Structure 1
Amino acid sequence: MPEGRDDPALSATEELALARLALDEGDLHHAAGHLAGALARAPTLPEVHETLARLAAVGGGGLDLFPINHHTFVGAVVARAHLLAAAGNPAEGLELLAAATGYAPGTDWAGVPWVTAPELAERLDPEHTARVLMQVCSALPDPVPRTGRGALAPYLTLARNAVTAHPEHGLLLGAASALARRLGEATVAIRWASRGVRAQSSKMGEVWLGYAYRSAGRTRDALAALGRAVALDPDDLAIYADIAGTLADNGRLDEALEWTERALARDPSFDCAVHTAHRLRHLRDGDLAHLVALADFARDHPDDSHEHADLAQCCRGRPWLGQLTPANGPLVDALRRAIAADDNGLGSAVRLTTVPPPSAVRTVASAAPGLRIEIVGTPEPDIREPRRASARQLWHYADDTTPMPAVPAPSAVAAERIGQVTHPAWPHPPAAYDAAVGLAGLDVADLLGLLVHPPAAPANAVGRLLAAHDPSIWVRGVQVWACLGLLHHRTDEPWEDSTRRRVLLDLVWGVEDWVTEAALFALVTAAWVDPAVRPDVARVVAERLADAAESSQVRAVPIAVSLAHLALATPALDPATAALAAKLLSAPQRGLPRPRNPLSRLWQRLTASRRHA
């Protein structure tokens, strides 16, 4: 169901006016097209349905005007559904409305009298109604957010009418319970599911009852029902995973792991059990290896029974596993204060004992140009010099303290593409890698240009939020995604001698900067998606972290904490480097306050925007 047609979008009123005009002129096909457009925009508007009835009256029922094919417009599907109901075939019409709901669950496709009339539920076969309700449920989250429940209320009315008309139909009661549960009606869901298992004992009936109890917070009853479901069908390993998840959610981790082991003993490759087991093992001991193994399993089993969120759940909100880290250091703290004061930093100054990262200086110059930077020392090792002589040069210094880009600005195409993908949060590293594939067509010069000439944040919700709270996050995000784009450069080249590896290593060992973190994250991401490169990446991470730790003994290293988090996100990291990372995170650094997170609420809003995108 494509979202629209080739025509420019018109309002429902305009579409309706054009439909009536075409109908008056006898042009039924154009009238049908405009009516489909009107229904797509205002599916419950009475005037639209009145005109559709006129069209049906003069067009032999009108069904031929709304054929179903592979690319049918959603408005045409809905029009055909209403015409089928009017022609005495509401069962097929209801299926089409459910299909429209699956396409756009937030639209009130079914909010019309014939769907909510008690007579419909009495006429329909109860098993057919149950299948429609399950079709609707399959497109919905559990639970549906409150703001989305109103559009689905007609289906709940249909369910109420159906269980009233067929009070002993087990499948119908279970499907109705599943819908009620998703719409926040846990008490109703329990009542219907309980009646269902009394009317007809079945595995699915017990599962529906267990889910209803779980939604109501009645964990003991939920586990009992799910246990009965296992007894009825010991080979349905998905129920084992559900029981394990329920136990884990209630702090009973050892019991949860026992259930996953029981499932894996029956089938070591069963995806639900594997995903749940790795998540629970990580929850038990915090070992990153469990998450890496889960990512490997997901990569090697692309045809899993359904989409799983275990890896994303474990990575959510964690530095570099699910989001970039906020920049650290007094200069960025001063920038945040200037943004909060909304004064461009005028009259403010920040006094530093060492030269700050060049990206930080450039971000302050752009976002708070009135903020004065006073540097009173340049201790060794000099931050203005690359950490290794072979490193690619992104910056040069016009004077002792003013960094300037050493590479040209990116093309307009590159700036547009990076703006489309940049976000400070991602589900997990392999998902970030996949999301960056749209940057694969950019050349190295463009991607390097983005690192030091980041485009302005777009005028969308995320861009406005960052501009109002912390512009440094947008700049760091652009750098992260540009480096992920480098990771997609010439992927046909063997890793060891590849252009992508060589360029990223140059950036890792370049001038100490936010780019260092972004490039190292790209290498860490490569290790997540390709087991063959893990020893190489782990070695690079270990060397770079050791270098930062050594520098931090004599001067402030604002990126050290972030590098430590990156190390702890690295597959196959050696224990000594992991211990060094933990030490850097626990001990205050020379010349820097202990890291804190003044942006926790901002992060919650940003990560929520990613999950709901």
Structure 2
Amino acid sequence: MPEDDPALAVEEELRLARLALADGNLPHAADHVAAALVRAPTLPEVHETLARVAAASGGDLELFPLGHHAFVGAVVARAHLLAAAGHPAEGLDLLAAATGYAPNADWAGVPWVTAPDLPERLDPERTARILMQICAAVPDPVPRRLRDPLRPYLVLARNAVTVHPGHALLLGAASALARRLGEVALAVTWAARGVRAQPTKLGEVWLGYAYRSAGRTRDALAALGRAVALDPDDLAVYADIAGTLADNGRLDEALDWIDRALAKDPTFDCAVHTAHRLRFQRDGDVAHLVALADFVRDHPDDTHEHGDLAECCRSRPWLGQVTPAGGPVLDALRQALAAEGAARVALRLDALEPPSAMRTATAAVPGLDVEVLAVADPDPREPRRATTWQLWRYEGTIAAPTLPSPSPEAAERIRQLAHPAWPHPPAAYDGAVGLATLELADLLGLLVHPPEPPVTALGRVLAGQDPSLWVRCVQVWTCLGLLHHRTDEPWAESTRRRVLVELVWGVEDWITEAAVFALVTAAWVDPAVRSDVAAVVAERIADVAAVARERRVPIATSLAHLALATPDLDPAARDLARVLIRGPADAPSRPGPFTRLRRLLAALFGRA
């Protein structure tokens, strides 16, 4: 039987269940019915077989046991049996638990859940709690493509509100679910009715959220303000008000609300996260995000997940994604790939490009003819400082690696990890731990011998549209892997620091950027190394500025963005980085590579 045919798989489970029933083996029959429910939770034949198992066992619920590691199919089967036995509230509790475990499955799409008379047999407060449990298990709002499995719960909410039209808690919980499923007008109606029935802080919050989703900002702020008046100590509402104000361009007012919350409790997680996000939004100073990362590290037991740090870092150079490379050789590479080999491409360069760029282009397009007209001083083929780890050797203007290829195991590990985006630098650090056991020779070999992209959607797009981005991903994640090399060694004398600093001062290359990013990431995750890293970055950015006065430095803008991401960087170095990012006043404008990367990420992962 093909494993990828769901219909055949369900039919096989039901066939085995019927055979077990015929043999009187009820536990075996129950196991197969539970497995069939997972594959087809609304299929009538599955429910008919479940009813036969229940009849044969006298409604024995223990055929579908609950426990610490209960099978979701058994949980759902037990829910249906409880409802059939006259205990629908307990059944709904279990269905809600299943939805929390797998929100994309249509666990509740069965007649008894949507029956108009079901709420008459339920306590309205119990129904409200079940709806709140569903809300806690799903995104806010739920993406359109994921809403259908949750609509039976919205039908339940409609029926319950019809039966209990004046129950404030039920109306508020129903509003919260409707809002998540895109029924904003209905959410406003229900929440407003709930507040009229019984004004409570929670009811006003639900009404405020509904108004906010409807674009009625003034009404939303009024409702949230009433919630504060009803409970001045609920600082989460202060954060909600601040977020709403900030979303509507009223940043000063938003910060006033956050300061009021922090005055009451300087450690309240929602207020701290919101405060750092809004302050970064106001002035762009990375110190706010570093302070937030420190707070997250020092408070691992926050009451719930926050996305403020990731939100601030998303799509920003090096904070949330690799900086795409530019330059004439990569422009020629992309043109050749777009032409699909229809013609040979000849390229004459006024200056030498980074060795990684040259090798990436010539490897991806064998018909690419590159001629370098001149090599300007300071010579980009020479390390900026004497180094032990010489990664490139030159014959004229042709660069070749000095190191052997990495092991197949190292190549496979980096294929599994390398990616152009990450939530924030500490998350990137954590993500690279899988490279911790690689030998130093393998890590260095990966920098100059990047493996082919993986056979995934991301790998295929990068290979076909922008091989340079894949090479940069490999180099970035390899240098992050170096941060995990021999972590028992004290930082100042460690192998990982020595190697990364030498890479920073090596031949002007994409590897320079990757090594600087690794050092910057180390400073994000370990306050003890911040002054050291800041000094290295300040020296390197000063050197870039000095060289840029003599010739073009292809990696200058990227290194400047890295400098702005560096914790505790000297203000003078920060100002110098901003000058490098602005570039010469007479520099021609050209489309930035960030646009391409954002489009690629949005196409692959639905993010911008």
Which TM-score band applies after superposition, normalised by the shorter structure? over 0.9
Q: Is the 8 A contact 2:326 2:593 kept in 1?
A: no
> Which residue of 1 is the match for residue 413 of structure 2?
417
Q: Secondary structure at the match of 1:327?
A: coil
> How has the CA–CA distance of structure 1 residues 501 and 9 changed in structure 2, closer, same or farther, with 3 Å as cutoff?
farther
Out of 588, 591, 594, the position equivalent to 1:596 is 591
Q: Secondary structure at the match of 2:36?
A: helix
* Amino acid corresponding to residue 325 of structure 2 in structure 1: A
> Which residue of 1 is the match for residue 513 of structure 2?
517
> Which residue of 1 is the match for residue 575 of structure 2?
579
> Which residue of 1 is the match for residue 259 of structure 2?
261
> Which residue of 2 is the match for residue 357 of structure 1?
354
Q: Secondary structure at the match of 1:350?
A: strand
> How has the CA–CA distance of structure 1 residues 86 and 605 changed in structure 2, closer, same or farther, with 3 Å as cutoff?
farther
> Which residue of 2 is the match for residue 386 of structure 1?
383
* Amino acid corresponding to residue 334 of structure 2 in structure 1: R
**Mean alpha-carbon deviation: is it higher for 13-22 or for 113-122?**
13-22
Give per-residue Cα distances to partners, 1:328-363, cap 9 Å, x unaligned: 2111111111122222x8410111123221211221
* Amino acid corresponding to residue 337 of structure 1 in structure 2: Q
**1:211 matched to 2:209:** yes
Q: Is the 8 A contact 1:20 1:51 kept in 2?
A: yes
Query: Following TM superposition, by how much is the alpha carbon of 1:225 offset from its aligned partner in structure 2, in angstroms?
Result: 0.5
> Which residue of 2 is the match for residue 401 of structure 1?
397
Q: Secondary structure at the match of 1:572?
A: coil
Distance 2:447 2:129 in 1: 53
Give per-residue Cα distances to partners, 1:388-407, cap 9 Å, x unaligned: 1124122223x323322222
Sequence identity percentage: 72
> Which residue of 2 is the match for residue 310 of structure 1?
308
What TM-score do the two structures reach when normalised by structure 2?
0.96
> Which residue of 2 is the match for residue 142 of structure 1?
140
Distance 1:15 1:602 in 2: 45
Distance 1:463 1:63 in 2: 48
Distance 2:198 2:228 in 1: 16
Distance 1:366 1:568 in 2: 33
Q: Is the 8 A contact 1:77 1:100 kept in 2?
A: yes
Distance 2:227 2:478 in 1: 50
Q: Secondary structure at the match of 1:109?
A: coil
**1:348 matched to 2:345:** yes
> Which residue of 1 is the match for residue 502 of structure 2?
506
Q: Is the 8 A contact 2:276 2:292 kept in 1?
A: yes
Give per-residue Cα distances to partners, 1:79-134, cap 9 Å, x unaligned: 11111111222111111111111111111111000111112111111111111111
Q: Is the 8 A contact 2:323 2:594 kept in 1?
A: no
Q: Is the 8 A contact 1:315 1:321 kept in 2?
A: yes
Give per-residue Cα distances to partners, 1:152-206, cap 9 Å, x unaligned: 1000001001111111111111111000000001110011111111111111000
**1:546 matched to 2:552:** no
> How has the CA–CA distance of structure 1 residues 335 and 586 changed in structure 2, closer, same or farther, with 3 Å as cutoff?
same
Query: Following TM superposition, by how much is the alpha carbon of 1:419 offset from its aligned partner in structure 2, in angstroms?
Result: 1.8
**1:570 matched to 2:561:** no
Query: Following TM superposition, by how much is the alpha carbon of 1:555 offset from its aligned partner in structure 2, in angstroms?
Result: 2.5
Out of 301, 317, 320, the position equivalent to 2:318 is 320
Q: Secondary structure at the match of 1:403?
A: strand
Aligned Cα RMSD in Å?
2.1
> How has the CA–CA distance of structure 1 residues 605 and 35 changed in structure 2, closer, same or farther, with 3 Å as cutoff?
farther
What TM-score do the two structures reach when normalised by structure 1?
0.95
Distance 1:245 1:291 in 2: 17
Give per-residue Cα distances to partners, 1:389-434, cap 9 Å, x unaligned: 124122223x323322222222222222222222111111111111
Q: Is the 8 A contact 1:107 1:151 kept in 2?
A: yes
> Which residue of 1 is the match for residue 236 of structure 2?
238
Distance 1:235 1:611 in 2: 38
Give per-residue Cα distances to partners, 1:216-256, cap 9 Å, x unaligned: 00000000000000000000000000000000000111111
Distance 2:582 2:353 in 1: 22
Q: Secondary structure at the match of 1:118?
A: coil
Out of 128, 151, 154, the position equivalent to 1:156 is 154
Query: Following TM superposition, by how much is the alpha carbon of 1:609 offset from its aligned partner in structure 2, in angstroms?
Result: 4.9
Distance 1:605 1:215 in 2: 29
Unaligned stretches of 5+ residues in structure 1? 1-7
* Amino acid corresponding to residue 507 of structure 1 in structure 2: L
Distance 1:243 1:474 in 2: 42
Q: Secondary structure at the match of 2:117?
A: helix
> How has the CA–CA distance of structure 1 residues 320 and 385 changed in structure 2, closer, same or farther, with 3 Å as cutoff?
same
> Which residue of 1 is the match for residue 3 of structure 2?
none
Distance 1:512 1:9 in 2: 58
Q: Secondary structure at the match of 1:138?
A: helix
Give per-residue Cα distances to partners, 1:430-484, cap 9 Å, x unaligned: 1111121222222222221221121221222222222232111111011111111
Unaligned stretches of 5+ residues in structure 2? 1-5
Q: How does 1:427-506 map to 2 (within 5 A)?
A: 427-506=423-502
Q: Is the 8 A contact 1:317 1:607 kept in 2?
A: no
> Which residue of 2 is the match for residue 3 of structure 1?
none
Q: Is the 8 A contact 1:387 1:510 kept in 2?
A: yes
> Which residue of 1 is the match for residue 167 of structure 2?
169
